[in-house]
Structure 1
Amino acid sequence: MVNNSYQPATVLLYDPDPALRHNTRSALLNIGFGDVVAIQEFNEFIEKTSTKDFDLVLADSRAVDGDPVEAVRKIRRHVIGKNPFVNVIVSLWNTTPETVTNAINSGADDVISRPMSRTHILERVGRLVRARKPFIVTPDYLGPDRRQVPRGYPQGSAMVVPNSLQAKIENRPEFAATPEAIQAAMNAVNDRKISIFTEQLIRLSSAILLLSDANDGQGDRENVIQALRQINDRLSARIKGTALTPVLSLCEGLNDLLDNIGKSGKILEEQEQELLKQIPYAIHKGCKEVQQSASLAFDIRDLSLELQSHRTLSRSSV
């Protein structure tokens, strides 16, 4: 039975199999969707995803010339497409644990095994309309929160994101994926990632301090230094060109400090230990307060001057 409330919503369907694609498109139209764009070629799927607006993406995981699951991951990261929060269902023929986990970790809203019936599709779509899971943000994941019992993240870490499917089907404009709503949600995602990265800087720098006194911990210390550098680089890329750009001087100073520590391979000097405590904390605090606190700007400037002094001394001793 056709549900007329689905009429305003649009679907992008990708399936390389002509017969199955036709059947799935017919099922979606019978449910009530007014516009179902069915794609056979993976490159065209990417082109449509990148240039058009859809309320639901239903993609088969199979492709001869690409990886649809990786494409979903890029949608969530806002690498392709206009709306990283678009509803996404991935269909799978191969349901091994590894394949299912990979699809889930892409950030897809739902994963459905093939073959799938009209009833299955209607049930999954209805769930996205009535009870879409809130999204969580981690260093490498943006997507629905599938935790049964929240662990490892603050209770308030989940966020409700724009849901154009619900906005159109239930006539709820407050959930519409307008450019303004998408930008506001992406700003929140960016803030949470920055917070995660700065907290990781503090934890990893503390680990380096603990390992600096261990006689047999040089290899472990080098691994932690490398991990700290990677997080620092990711943070720098995320804040560059934003209101947090003044913090970049501290990130650069931290990389210089890590260079010196890594080259020496010795027990840290007192000044190095102090800087390794201060810089990550200042980065963390600066990212939270630099726009609100003029006094903090002076704190950052003073620490930057200390870093410059440390760089000069380090270079002169080489």
Structure 2
Amino acid sequence: MSRAIPAMPLSPAPAAVDLSKVKTLVCEPSLPVRQGIRLALNNVGIRDITEANTFLAAHQACKEGDHDFLVLNQEIEANDSTFIMRELRSGALGRDPFILTVMLLSSREEPKVRSAIDCGPDDLLLIPFAPDQLMNRLRILVERRKPFVVTHDYIGPDRRAAPRPGATSATQFQVPNPVRARGTNLPRDRYDRQKQDSIVAISVERIKRLAATMDWECNALTVSAREGRMTVESTYRSLLKLEQVAGELSARVAKQLGHSTDTIDSLTEMCRRLKVTPNNVAFSDIETITQTSRRISGTYTSR
């Protein structure tokens, strides 16, 4: 059961940033925790606060609101809120994929922590916490927001201390900070231009990553077929993954680049058709998918 957050004295916010102008959304099912968060926000001058205590209300508020700062519990009514976070970061939900976000966790269990990290919030905070912990996180994020990185399944802050051995270093993107922009009276049209420039840059990188992932999945499927390691389950998973990746790639290519998506859509349709009867997938089918994927990846991985 969540405990109320005790009131503690807070030091004033940095003079250069007027937090009273910041619009905040708190998505938290526990009333005592919401009250504690509101008190913490009020103590640093934040008054424009929207609360959501159900998953539906949280999703709707994220979709329609124009917020700068989001406090989001990882679990609302037994629903996984990392879905909301991923939708926000991908641009599929809401008006600003760069909303500054602290995700609340009620458990230190490694799978839950990993799931929270992988959905792209700026920071994590374990319940229960003191108000100054939340506001200190906010101050740090206002002053020193981490750059974003993009992969085929992640858009969010770069949390790596260093690249994994043998891995290529991911491109970092300096993204706009809506809390700092609002608190320093940055003209809205200027912020919107920064936001749009970052959205385009990240989308182009995502396109490259999706195309490369699609090619990798096809190669893995080909090797598996040649070596006789294909199973109904593995074939279905590969085809489903290819369908999902190709579907997002098609949408991004059409929206950001204005390209025809006929070839990508044909690949999506092939995967959708074949996964209905994965036990009947022939090697010739895999060759056709792979050849189509190579044509697509050759177009977009080098952009």
TM-score by shorter chain over 0.5: yes
Q: Give the corresponding residue for 1:23.
A: 36
Aligned partners of 1:46, 1:213: CA distance in 2, in Å?
45
**How well do the aligned residues superpose, as a CA RMSD in angstroms?**
3.6
Give the Cα–Cα distance (whole angstroms) in 2 for the partners of residues 208 and 66 of structure 1. 33
User: Judging changes above 3 Å, is the alpha-carbon distance between structure 1 residues 249 and 13 closer, same or farther for their aligned structure 2 residues?
Assistant: closer
* Alignment partners' CA distance in 2, 1:233 and 1:276: 14
2-structure distance, mates of 1:81, 1:90:
17
Correspondence for 1:193: 206
- Aligned counterparts of 1:94 and 1:213: Cα–Cα separation in 2: 44
Segment of structure 1 superposing worse, 5-14 or 222-231: 222-231
* Matching residue within 139, 144, 168 for 2:157: 144
Q: Following the alignment from structure 1 to structure 2, what is the Cα–Cα distance between the partners of residues 70 and 123?
A: 26
Q: Give the Å deviation of 1:37.
A: 2.7
Flag the structure with larger Rg: 1
Cα displacement string for residues 3-60 of structure 1 (whole angstroms, at most 9, x for unaligned residues) = 3622221211233333332222111111222422334444333332222211101123
Q: Against the structure 1 CA distance between its residues 247 and 11, is the aligned structure 2 distance closer, same or farther, given a 3 Å change threshold?
A: closer
> 8 Å contact 1:204–1:224 — kept in the other structure?
no
TM-score with structure 1 length normalisation? 0.73
Higher relative contact order (CA 8 A, sep 6+): 2
Matched, 1:287 2:300: yes
Asked if the contact 2:27/2:73 (under 8 Å) is kept, the reply is: yes
Instruction: Give the TM-score normalised by the residue count of structure 2.
Output: 0.76
Task: Pick closer, same or farther for the CA change 1:19–1:154 going to 2, 3 Å.
Answer: same
Q: Which moved more, 1:231-240 or 1:14-23?
A: 231-240
Secondary structure of the residue that 1:193 maps to in structure 2? helix
User: d(CA) in 2 for partners of 1:88 and 1:203?
Assistant: 32
CA contact (8 A) 2:20 2:46 kept: yes
Asked if the contact 2:150/2:170 (under 8 Å) is kept, the reply is no
* Conservation of the 8 A alpha-carbon contact between 1:92 and 1:112: yes
Higher helix share: 1
Counterpart position of 1:236: 250
Match of 2:174, SS? coil
- The amino acid across from 2:67 in the alignment is F
Secondary structure of 2:260's aligned partner: helix
Specify the alignment match of 2:260 in structure 1. Answer: 246
Match for residue 301 of structure 1?
none
Which residue is equivalent to 2:169? 155
Residue segments in structure 2 that go unaligned for 5+ positions in a row: 1-10
Give the length in aligned residue pairs. Answer: 283
Partner in structure 2 of residue 167 of structure 1 = 181
Percent of aligned positions that are identical: 22
CA distance in 1, matches of 2:32, 2:126: 17
